[in-house]
Amino acid sequence: MARSKDLADLSEAYLALDLLKVNTRNDAAMLRAGWRARERWIERTSHSFEQWLKPSNEVDLVPAIELAQDMWSKVGKARSGDPDPSRLDRLLRRIFGGIRALAGGGVAVYLGLAREVSEESGQHTLDTLGLNQTFRWTTPRDMARDIHAVRGSKVLALAANEHLDRLRDIIIRATDPAKPKAMGEIVAEIEREWSVLRRWQAERIARTETAAVWETTNFNALYLNGVTQVDWVIASGPSIGPPKSYPPCDDCVEIAAQNPWVVTDVELPPKHPNCRCTLVPVYDADWLPPAETWHGQDPPLPLRDVESV
């Protein structure tokens, strides 16, 4: 009799171990699926932001180049350093129709990102929790505008300002009288560098803001469905990780080392520009889906302000 009970206990233990292995594989698959979905949105949004910044390549840069050359000539041989760029800033802003127009052109891109990415994130989190529900915001326009009001407007304004600042620096460097070039050579150099800058900046904004929208919705879906603890997971490994030349930052590693986190204490990713970390649920032993599943009703979103992009 005792032997039968021992075998039953052993069989139950093996079954539990098998279920744990299955759950671990399923969790890993869901994690990879989430990162792949984010990467798809990053690619699409990056293209949209690049198109937003593209008109800068279609304007006549000659007036700005001529002003920069004139500014260099007034510096004089007896003085050192670069010329005061304030006049060039004003000219560039006139060329691009003003900073407000440039920043405003990205609003539609950001709102579209916030609506569509958030719905995919919410659906992914519901699937991770095993909840048979279809995620859909009841007021997607308000949700997107809330995210834009807290983060997006600053992100776009900072990006537009930085864009013009970098163009100014490129023009001043390209017109340095110590390395004289013909006008055609200067224009070609500026347009070449400008194209690279636009693409790099669009990818950075897309990656960071996709993460912000995704993780905000992910957090809501976890918290409002009764999950009390989460792990901060760093994107690493051959399937989901960044290239070896981009190791995880020390801040993210330190946060992950303190897992698990109580949901009311954890900071929401992204921790920094280009951050790829995510939050995953840690189930309590007695966790069960709530009687009324939250699947996109309009909650107060835990939005985090932004200082840099």
Cβ(102)–Cβ(96) below 8 Å: yes
Average pLDDT over residues 82-88: 75
Q: How many CA atoms lie within 13 A of 275 on its CB side?
A: 27
pLDDT tier for residue 105 given thresholds of 50, 70 and 90: low
Checking DSSP bridges between strand 261-262 and strand 229-233, what pairing results, if any? antiparallel
Average pLDDT over residues 142-155: 75
Average pLDDT over residues 47-58: 68
Report the C-alpha gap between 144 and 64 in whole angstroms.
37
Sheet holding 229-233, edge to edge: 261-262, 229-233, 278-282
DSSP-assigned letters across all residues of 124-178: HHHHHTT-------SSHHHHHHHHIIIIIHHHHHHHHHHHHHHHHHHHHHHT-TT
Looking at residue 63, its pLDDT comes to 86
Highest average pLDDT, of 49-58, 169-178, 219-228, comes from 219-228
Looking at residue 289, its pLDDT comes to 81
pLDDT tier for residue 309 given thresholds of 50, 70 and 90: very low
Query: How far is residue 146 CA from its own chain's centroid?
Result: 17
List beta partners, residue 232: 279
Looking at residue 37, its pLDDT comes to 86
Residue 120 predicted with pLDDT over 80: yes
Cβ(248)–Cβ(278) below 8 Å: no
Average pLDDT, the chain: 77
Q: Residue 90 is encoded by which pair of tokens?
A: 């004003």
Residue 78 predicted with pLDDT over 70: no
Residue 99 predicted with pLDDT over 60: no
How many contiguous H segments (helices) and E segments (strands) does the chain have? 9, 3
Looking at residue 126, its pLDDT comes to 92
Looking at residue 203, its pLDDT comes to 83
Q: Residue 134 is encoded by which pair of tokens?
A: 């279809």
Query: How far is residue 255 CA from its own chain's centroid?
Result: 18
Q: Which has the minimum average pLDDT: 10-19, 205-214, 269-278? A: 10-19
Which among 99, 114, 77, 102 is positioned nearest to 214, based on CA atoms? 114
Cβ(128)–Cβ(120) below 8 Å: no
Average pLDDT over residues 50-62: 68
Q: Would you list the domain boundaries of the chain?
A: 28-227
Looking at residue 104, its pLDDT comes to 60
Residue 92 predicted with pLDDT over 60: yes
pLDDT tens-digit map of 256-274: 889 999 998 998 998 888 8
Looking at residue 308, its pLDDT comes to 46
Which among 182, 298, 83 is positioned nearest to 190, based on CA atoms? 182
pLDDT tier for residue 124 given thresholds of 50, 70 and 90: very high
Looking at residue 239, its pLDDT comes to 47
Average pLDDT over residues 271-294: 85
- The set of residues, in sequence order, having a beta carbon less than 8 Å from that of 97 and lying 6+ positions away, is none
Rg of the chain taking only CA atoms, in angstroms: 25
Residue 213 predicted with pLDDT over 60: yes
pLDDT tens-digit map of 180-211: 888 888 888 888 887 787 788 788 888 888 88
Residue 109 predicted with pLDDT over 70: yes
Residue 241 predicted with pLDDT over 60: no
pTM flag (> 0.85): no
Q: Which has the minimum average pLDDT: 35-44, 234-243, 246-255? A: 234-243
Q: Residue 139 is encoded by which pair of tokens?
A: 């007021």
